[in-house]
Amino acid sequence: MSEQQRDVHRTGLIGELSAEFAGTMVLILFGCGVVAQVVAGGLGNHDSIAWAWGFGVTFGVYVAGRLSGAHINPAVTLSLAAFKGFPWAKVVPYTLAQTAGAFVAALLVRWNYTEVLAHADPGHTLKTQFVFSTLPGNGSLPVSEWGALRDQVIGTAILMLLLFAVTDLLNTPPGANLAAVVIGLIVVAIGMAWGTDAGYAINPARDFGPRLASFLTGYRGAWRDQYGNLYFWVPIVGPLVGGLLGAALYRILIGRFLPVPGPQEVGRTPSAET
The partner residues of 224 in beta bridges, in order of sequence, read 230
Question: Please, which pLDDT band fits residue 270 given cuts at 50, 70 and 90?
Answer: very low
Give the C-alpha distances (Å, rounded to integers) separating 102 from 21, 120, 240: 8, 23, 17
pLDDT digits (tens, 9 = 90+) for 224-258: 999 999 999 999 999 999 999 999 999 999 999 99
Residue 175 neighbours by CB distance under 10 Å: 9
pLDDT at 260: 79
Kindly tell me if the per-residue pLDDT of 177 is higher than 50. yes
Kindly tell me if the per-residue pLDDT of 4 is higher than 50. no
Kindly tell me if the per-residue pLDDT of 48 is higher than 60. yes
Average pLDDT on 153-179 reads 94
Kindly tell me if the per-residue pLDDT of 53 is higher than 60. yes
Give the separation between CA 249 and CA 157, rounded to whole angstroms. 8
For the chain, what is the mean pLDDT?
92
Give the separation between CA 113 and CA 192, rounded to whole angstroms. 25
Residue 58 and residue 142 in contact, taking contact as beta carbons nearer than 8 Å: no
Give the C-alpha distances (Å, rounded to integers) separating 186 from 52, 241, 258: 12, 19, 22
pLDDT at 268: 46
Give the separation between CA 140 and CA 158, rounded to whole angstroms. 25
Report pTM. 0.91
b/e per residue, 130-169, with b = 16+ CB within 10 A?
bbbbbbbbbbeeebbbebbbbbbbbbbbbbbbbbbbbbbe
Size (the chain), residues: 274
pLDDT at 263: 59
pLDDT at 262: 59
Question: Please, which pLDDT band fits residue 8 given cuts at 50, 70 and 90?
Answer: very low
Amino acid at 124: H
